[in-house]
Structure formats: structure tokens, C-alpha cells
């Protein structure tokens, strides 16, 4: 959430989410995975999921017959280059890893796939990840200072006891960013602005 003008006695500036230079994560430990993966796909390792949101944001419907190959094929058919299996029956896709994804010990991806008990399909908050090449992982976005008179005042809990932190919502489903949202709030005379769910922009008179 951001406030216009001053916060804690200082004048700040409008923060924007930053995308750091993406490090290339080396291949993970030697996988205990099937050798019949689709062509050009390899196992990248067992990753921690959920620490800062989903590391692969696109979920395929759960399957009672999930295997590593099935998940990869589903992701590849949708044009994705990274696939991940989790909690035995779940499949996720993307073209990179997000939210500061980090490799963990291979033993933590311990749940058997619903479609093949000899394969491992992640576990709770653990994802078995596959890719068509090196896996690129992005750190979670964070607020930093930019131009303007907005000051970042922190991450707030919304909808406590049915009360919204910021009452007025401005639809911004395709072009939401810190700059866009706060410009809208300032245009309509609001002194506080915030974003959530990726595509929601909300404004208020105070925070």
C-alpha cells in the first residue's frame, strides 16, 4: 500500500515492482524420474513452492492419472517451457520459475504420482520441475522508490471483519502496475492506493 505525500515524517516516492536480472539455476540433483520423458524435456529438481506465491502460476486441472510425462505434454500443448507436478495429482506450467523459487533436497518431493506409483510428483508445497532447457528463476517483486510523491507504507491485511482497507476499486485487469494504479488514485483525488491479486487497484482517503 502507498500513501501520497508523507509517511513517518518523510516524503517518499512511488515504488514500482522490479524484475531483477534472472539468474540461471543449475540442474538439480540426479532425478529419480522416468526415462520416457517427452523429447527435449529434462528434470530440473525438487523446488519449494508457495513461499512467495506459486512458482509456476498456471495450473492444469487435477488428474487421477497424473504422470510426469502427462503433465509435460499438457504444458507443452499450451506453449509452456516449464512444467511441475505437485501433491501427487497437480500439474503447473510457465516459462520460468517465480517467487524466488529455490531448490530443496530431493527427498522432499516424496508423493507418488496418481498415474504411476513409481514416479514422484512433488509433495505439499514441493514441486517436481521439468523444463526444455535451463530453468530461469525470478526473485519475488518488491517495492522500490521511483518518481512522484508516493511513499510505500507496507503490506496490509485486507477485509478484516468485513472491512476493506481501501474502499474504492478501479478496474485495471490488463495494465495494472504501481504507476498506473497510483496515477488513477491521484487523478480521482485519493491519497492512498494499493494493489492485490495482480489485477486489482484500490484507492482510499487514508490507510
Q: Per mean pLDDT, which of 7-21, 112-126, 156-170 is the most reliable?
A: 112-126
* Percent of the chain's residues with pLDDT above 90: 44
Q: Which three cell numbers stand for residue 14?
A: 512511488
Average pLDDT over residues 90-103: 94
The chain-wide mean pLDDT, for the chain, equals 82
pLDDT surpassing 80 at residue 131: yes
Average pLDDT over residues 93-121: 94
Angstrom distances, CA of residue 23 to CA of 41, 53, 74, 127: 20, 19, 26, 19
Give the model confidence (pLDDT) of 41-63 as tens digits.
999 999 999 888 899 999 999 99
Which pLDDT does position 38 carry in this prediction? 94
pLDDT higher at 153 or 19? 153
Q: Which residues pair with 83 in a beta bridge?
A: 93, 130
pLDDT surpassing 60 at residue 184: yes
Average pLDDT over residues 125-143: 88
Average pLDDT over residues 5-31: 42
Assign 169 a pLDDT band (cuts: 50, 70, 90): confident
| Cβ–Cβ under 8 Å, residues 38 and 77 | no
pLDDT higher at 101 or 30? 101
Assign 67 a pLDDT band (cuts: 50, 70, 90): very high
Q: Which three cell numbers stand for residue 142?
A: 518488491
Is the sign of the CA dihedral 57, 61, 67, 72 positive or negative?
negative
Average pLDDT over residues 165-173: 81
Amino acid at each position: 500500500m502507498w500513501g501520497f505525500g508523507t509517511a513517518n515524517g518523510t516524503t517518499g516516492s512511488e515504488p514500482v515492482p522490479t524484475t531483477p536480472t534472472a539468474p540461471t539455476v543449475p540442474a538439480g540433483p540426479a532425478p529419480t524420474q522416468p526415462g520416457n520423458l517427452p523429447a527435449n524435456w529434462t528434470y530440473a529438481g525438487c523446488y519449494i513452492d508457495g513461499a512467495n506465491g506459486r512458482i509456476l502460476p498456471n495450473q492444469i486441472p487435477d488428474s487421477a492419472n497424473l504422470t510426469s510425462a502427462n503433465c509435460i505434454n499438457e504444458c507443452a500443448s499450451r506453449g509452456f517451457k516449464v512444467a511441475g507436478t505437485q501433491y501427487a495429482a497437480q500439474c503447473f506450467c510457465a516459462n520460468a520459475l517465480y517467487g524466488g523459487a529455490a531448490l530443496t533436497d530431493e527427498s522432499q518431493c516424496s508423493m507418488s504420482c496418481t498415474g504411476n506409483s513409481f514416479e514422484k510428483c512433488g509433495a505439499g508445497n514441493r514441486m517436481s520441475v521439468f523444463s526444455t532447457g535451463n530453468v530461469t528463476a525470478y526473485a519475488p517483486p518488491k517495492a522500490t522508490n521511483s518518481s512522484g510523491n508516493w511513499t510505500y507504507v507496507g503490506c496490509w491485511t485486507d477485509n478484516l471483519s468485513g472491512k476493506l482497507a481501501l474502499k474504492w476499486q478501479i478496474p485495471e485487469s490488463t495494465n495494472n502496475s504501481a504507476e498506473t494504479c497510483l496515477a488513477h488514485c491521484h487523478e480521482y483525488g485519493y491519497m492512498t492506493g494499493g494493489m492485490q491479486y495482480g489485477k486489482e487497484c484500490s484507492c482510499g482517503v487514508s490507510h
